[in-house]
A and B are shown apart, each in its own frame.
Chain A
Amino acid sequence: MTDTAAGPPRAVVAAADRSEPLYASHVKVYTQRVAGRFRQIKWMALVVLLGLYYLAPWLRWDRGAGAPDQALLIDMPGRRAYFFWIEIWPQEVYYLTGLLILAAFGLFLATSLAGRVWCGFTCPQTVWTDLFMLVERLIEGDRNQRLRLDHAGFSLAKAARKLAKHVAWVAIAAATGGAWILYFADAPTVLTEIFTARASATVYGFIGLFTATTYLLAGWAREQVCIYMCPWPRFQAAMFDEHSLLVTYEAWRGEPRGHRKAGQSYDDRGHCIDCGLCVRVCPTGVDIRLGQQLACIGCALCVDACNGVMAKVGLPGGLIAYDSLARQTARSRGQSVRYRLLRGRTIAYAALLVVVGAVMLAALATRSTLDLNVLPDRAPLFVRLSDGDIRNAYTLKIINKSRETRHYRLTADGIADAGLSVLGVEPGPDGAIELTVEGDSVGTFRAFLRAERKALAGESTPVTMALTEIDSGQSTQHETFFSGPKR
């Protein structure tokens, strides 16, 4: 297994490295500014995603008096989640499960198609780090200026620049924490409270937490998150196959690399002129010419950098490009292979996405604003009354998801001449039982059903309780049973 062409033999390495440290100091990454197609796409993604994050809580949706008018709101004390015209109750949290499943399949599909596009373009860590790097570049200058500044001695100008940068970072981080709160409370109200020191300790606590984490992770940790903290890079390699589009370096074309004087020919050498720009623009500091690696987040800034340089030296672009490994291998041998975006894996992910999405849509579309639950008493199952009749007791839970108080008529079918009564409710003149439930709440009632012993079908007789809303006729029912003595 030894590769004799690639370095000293093992034994020599083993002896020489006895004193290697176990911990390594952080090597700071100074990125250089670059322009190009993928840099533009990254800016667009940043603007859209941050815009959505900061502005979405301000959207309004009228739900009537007494209801929150924010379009996107998770009301923890009120136990409701609002998404435009959809109102989710706690027992419907499985919609969140469905959303997470959709997100997972969407991510798998995107990764199997185009590699680490999540990491490079849309991950919150990438987006906020990109923003913080932009602020740093605007205040401290581009790469060379920052290097000089960091190596310079202390001076007031340097301190002022550093201070300005950190203040800007903390301000952005605080706005990020503040925006998070706006999803859980009414935005205009809570924002005024925050600035007039009337908000609760929970609000300030969460803002403090998010400010600290955003500032630390985007300002200081940056690529350390991707390399050491995040689990996603570690199984990304299992998510691609040979047809996924990845950031690749055409080694057969680029190697052997080396500096080039103007006028030298390209015989016996590769197109890579070793300018090092691809390394300098990389936000995680990797050298893509070493091949696929964990720390490459697939942001394609090196593609932009190399294409710019290749244009200047009159060589064809695409030395670093988004390409599949299958195509790279084929082209290194002089063959050509198509892109294979439609393949078993991608079709399967897409199909799963469609199926789960359809199921969720169907569930949403068939939601009812009325629900009845009947819970028969178990201790005792039945009671023998003085006149020989048998009586069962039930607890009724009526969920009224509309916003108005509703009146329902309750009936019980399944046993001839059974007598239905509800604790605390006087029957109407025709013997009808009318139950009132307030809007947006659950009404609890205790119902009794009595029947003659001979009308029963044995130890358990099926009974259906039905609720009909008096004005609209909306109805629902619940099947339950009536317990009785053995025959």
Chain B
Amino acid sequence: MAEQNKTPTTGHEWDGVTELNTPLPKWWAYVFWATILWAIGYWVVYPAWPSLSGYTKGVIGYSSHADYEDKAAAAAQARRVWTDRIDALTVDAVVADSELLQYAAAGGRSVFAENCAPCHGAGGQGAAGYPILADDDWLWGGTAADIYQTVQYGVRSEHDGARLSEMPKFGADGLLDEAAIADAAEYVLSLSNRSEDAAATGRGQTIFAENCAVCHGDAGQGIKEFGAPRLTDDIWLHGGERNDIVAQITNPRQGVMPAWSGRLGDTGIKMVSIYVHSLGGGQ
């Protein structure tokens, strides 16, 4: 089929098969050499070849890393239009400004994802021992200012301004015996309408009034100044089953939240507080 006697062959023949030589245009070859020359020029001008401990930097000193740093600095500069306004206001004032609220909530969302999500969950849904931030039940108060203070100084952290509370070890320190603790636990369950033993609930009410009401409130509504949780809403930090409540009364776990002032800038703390406030349960 391909035997064109007008087209020359390369001269070789293998088992009767020849190879046509339709000449390529010379400009094609010149363009090829030109691209090689261009590549050599590229090596001289731009960073190109690695050496044992570095690389050739190129004549114009271009660096994609420096390029990125410049762009990041420019972006931070552009953000200052907003962050300066946020810095000038208190947290409550930012919440009241609907335009700044949108910006702060969006900015706080990225701060949250990097710093808070490991413990509190990606959407603030919490985990065993880590409070749910998306609901309306707050240990230390749910106003923007309360949240701001909690984030700044932490809970039982090493910081001077940290929020502190200590639940007595009723069981471990021998303040109540097992039966009393069991009755108290039954009463606590009844506050969330989950009690199954009316007699135990009755006994537990007395124990509660003498030992627990001082921090948790007469009706178990919680006192945010003490960080004492509300016991009436069936939302539990350390588990809501009977034995979890018994364990918590016996040998209470005291969670620790780190202080973020010093780790994050004040603007970031403000924004993340506003974000948490905007998750839906802010007061």
Contacts and interface: CB of A to CB of B under 8 A. Distances in A.
A56 to B, nearest CB: 34
A148 interface: no
Interface residues of A, number: 39
Interface in A442-469: 444, 446, 448
Given A388-B234, A423-B105, A224 B27 contact: yes
Given A14-B9, A20-B10, A385 B136 contact: yes
Q: Which of B102, B136, B137 has the most CB of A within 10 A?
A: B136
Contact of A386 (B1, B137, B279): B137
A379 B279 CA distance: 11
A471 interface: no
A33 to B, nearest CB: 26
B123 A6 contact: no
A428 interface: no
B24 interface: yes
B181 to A, nearest CB: 25
A429 interface: no
Interface size, B (range): 35 or more
A386 B230 contact: yes
Contacts of A380: 121, 123-125, 132, 134
A13 B125 CA distance: 84
Interface in B1-37: 1, 3, 5-6, 8-13, 18, 21, 23-29
A207 interface: no
B119 interface: no
Given A378-B123, A379-B123, A423-B105, A385 B135 contact: yes
Contacts of A228: 25, 28
Q: Is the interface of B mostly helix, strand, loop or mixed?
A: loop
A24 B23 CA distance: 5
Nearest to A386: B233
Interface in B117-145: 121-125, 132, 134-137
A407 to B, nearest CB: 15
Contact of A23 (B11, B24, B101): B24
B101 A383 contact: no
Given A385-B136, A386-B136, A424-B102, A379 B233 contact: no
Contacts of A6: 5
Given A17-B11, A23-B26, A387 B121 contact: no
Interface string A1-34: 1110011101001110111111111100000000
B132 A383 contact: yes
A387 B134 CA distance: 14
Given A14-B11, A386-B135, A22 B3 contact: no
Contacts of A13: 5, 8-9
Given A7-B5, A14-B9, A23 B29 contact: yes
Q: Which of A21, A383, A444 has the most CB of B within 10 A?
A: A383
B235 interface: yes
A446 B108 CA distance: 15
A396 B138 CA distance: 27
A393 interface: yes
Interface in A209-268: 224, 228
A298 B18 CA distance: 32
A22 B26 CA distance: 9
B51 interface: no
A62 interface: no
Contacts of B279: 393
Interface of B: 1, 3, 5-6, 8-13, 18, 21, 23-29, 98, 101-102, 105, 121-125, 132, 134-137, 230, 232-235, 278-281
List the 7 closest pairs (A to B, CB-CB), nearest first: A380-B125, A7-B5, A379-B123, A24-B23, A18-B11, A386-B233, A17-B8
15 contacts: A8-B5, A14-B12, A14-B13, A17-B10, A18-B11, A26-B26, A26-B27, A380-B125, A383-B135, A384-B235, A385-B135, A385-B233, A386-B232, A423-B101, A446-B278
Interface of A: 1-3, 6-8, 10, 13-15, 17-26, 224, 228, 377-380, 383-388, 391, 393, 423-424, 444, 446, 448
Given A10-B3, A24-B26, A423-B101, 7 more contacts: A6-B5, A10-B18, A18-B10, A22-B21, A386-B137, A391-B135, A393-B134
